[in-house]
């Protein structure tokens, strides 16, 4: 039986990023998934990922829109954290080769 220090369940973006973090921490990692990674739910997600990465985008506007979209019921500290981290995380994922849909202007 094969043994690993870290077992990641799911090969979508979150699972692959978790596995990468474990490898960067010099851990022996395995990923298991019921689907091929290119067929993961990340690729099929209809909602997409929102991040303030464009020239005219604003993290503060992203935070406001997200809080408003939750009918002000979302944890505002968590929303602020995720909105501030979203842009750098999307850029990081692009550097790893993740392909995102884009508007016509880029």
Q: 72-101: per-residue pLDDT in tens?
A: 999 999 999 999 999 999 999 889 888 777
Q: Where are the alpha helices (DSSP H) in the chain?
A: 13-24, 41-44, 59-69, 76-95
Query: Domain check: are 75 and 94 in the same one?
Result: yes
- Better-predicted residue by pLDDT, 19 or 36: 19
Q: Look at residue 106 in the predicted model and tell me its pLDDT.
A: 65
Section 52-79 average pLDDT: 96
* One domain, residues 61 and 41: no
Provide the pLDDT for residue 47: 67
3 state SS of 4: coil
Predicted pLDDT of residue 88: 94
54 and 38 part of one domain: no
The answer to whether residues 54 and 93 belong to one domain is: yes
Could you tell me which residues come within 8 angstroms of residue 88 by beta carbon, excluding any fewer than 6 positions away?
A: none
The reply to whether 3 and 20 lie within a common domain is: yes
As a whole number, mean pLDDT of residues 22-35 equals 95
**What pLDDT does residue 85 have?**
96
| pTM of the model as a whole | 0.72
Are 1 and 22 found together in one domain? yes
CB atoms under 10 Å from CB of 101, counted, come to 6
Lookup result for tokens 């220090």: 5
In terms of domains, do 105 and 82 share one? yes
- Backbone φ and ψ for 50, nearest 5 degrees, come out as -105, 135
Q: Are residues 42 and 6 in the same domain?
A: yes
Domain count, the chain: 2
Structural domain harbouring 63:
50-106
| Region 60-78 average pLDDT | 97
């Amino acid at each position: 039986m094969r043994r690993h220090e870290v077992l990641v369940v799911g090969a979508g973006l979150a699972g692959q990023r978790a596995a990468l973090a474990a490898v960067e921490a010099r851990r022996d990692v395995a990923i298991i998934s019921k689907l091929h990674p290119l067929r993961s739910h990340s690729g099929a997600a209809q909602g997409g990922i929102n991040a303030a990465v464009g020239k005219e985008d604003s993290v503060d506007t992203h935070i406001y829109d997200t809080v408003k979209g939750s009918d002000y019921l979302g944890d505002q500290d968590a929303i602020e954290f995720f909105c501030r981290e979203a842009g750098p995380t999307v850029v990081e994922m692009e550097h790893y080769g993740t392909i995102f849909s884009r508007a016509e202007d880029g």
